[in-house]
Amino acid sequence: MLQRKIGSSYWETSAIALGIMRMSALTSSKAAAVLETALESDINFIDSADMYGDGKSELIFGAALKEANISRDKFFIQSKGGIVTGDDKRYDFSKQHLLDSVDGILDRMGIDYLDSYLLHRPDPLMEPEEIAEAFDLLQASGKVRHFGVSNFNPEQFQLLQSYVDQKLLINQLQFSIMHTGMIDYGMHTNMTDTRSFDHDGGVLEFSRRKGVTIQAWSPFQYGFFEGVFVDNDKFPELNELLDKLAKKYETNKNAIATAWILRHPANMQVILGTMNPTRIKESAAGGDVTLTKQEWYDVYFAAGNDLP
């Protein structure tokens, strides 16, 4: 299994992480089996958010950790905060909300600290001075060891970084074979077609230059949660090639889709969202596959992309 140095060199963990957004639908016993499968597959990174299942995902995770008798130190545990759901729907990066968010996460999970805490989507009303105070308190208390963001563009990232003392190590961004905007525009520079549009402010290049780890979420989705592309009849050419490569590397389609992301030199970390133990094993196998450059491009083309 490939390893990733988060934020270039702050700590090393598995290149594939397990996201627990869907864990709220499981019993603690089934969730325990999921965690056991993750460890058996050399996945030691957990990604969560305080709003997943309105907090139930983290409650189930905490119960599963105990039921499986897995030591907290077996996992690098990350969660996110800043999204308020329900009748008072909003983004909220206020100092008190962030402090309360972390306390709630730790209580639900039954743990003493988070390895990393991310701001979950940018709040246009954020006041960086408040965030800096919250980060200082969370770090000083030992409740959070490292910090990052999710779905921030470079200007938002740099604005926040200019106020906080802690290096922002992570930016969580959607990326997959069927969601390639971060790389499309770079190849279509100086052109006027739709693929030349830069929707993200050069966030991929920015992250590489700053040593920020991109965590790729929805690695098997097309569109915005429209569905998975693996074994989807809408994408026959892509699935035919995934199957061909899976046979060559004696693995499976999910592994090839994972390997395609990991092949990019930005050293991304892939966040799996499945709660199916078989799918976890299949996807984790991608950490043992290194596609050639031609194979990487062939997959890119099979997904409907081109070169200018």
- Tell me what pLDDT residue 2 has: 83
Q: Token pair 């409907």 is at which residue? A: 304
DSSP state of 212: P
**Per-residue pLDDT tens digits for 152-181:** 999 999 999 999 999 999 999 999 999 999
Query: Is the separation of the CB atoms in 23 and 53 below 8 Å?
Result: yes
pTM of the prediction?
A: 0.95
Cβ count within 10 A of residue 118: 27
Condensed to tens digits (0 to 9), the pLDDT of residues 202-223 reads 999 999 999 999 999 999 999 8
Query: Does position 224 have pLDDT exceeding 80, yes or no?
Result: no
Q: Are 180 and 203 in contact (CB under 8 A)?
A: no
Amino acid (one-letter) located at 299: V
pLDDT in tens, 84-113: 999 999 999 999 999 999 999 999 999 999
pLDDT band with cut points at 50, 70 and 90 for residue 78: very high
pLDDT of residue 11: 87
Cα separation, 58 vs 118, in Å, equals 15
pLDDT for res 9: 80
What is the longest distance spanned by two Cα atoms in the chain?
Answer: 57
Is the pLDDT at 287 greater than 80? The verdict is yes
| Residues labelled as active-site residues | 52
Amino acid 98: pLDDT: 98
What confidence tier does 230 reach under pLDDT thresholds 50, 70, 90?
very high
CB 80 within 8 A of CB 42: no
Q: Where are the alpha helices (DSSP H) in 225-272?
A: 236-248, 253-262
Residue 8 has pLDDT above 90, yes or no: no
Question: What does the alpha-carbon distance between residue 162 and residue 160 come to, in Å, rounded to a whole number?
Answer: 5
Structure tokens at 21: 């957004």
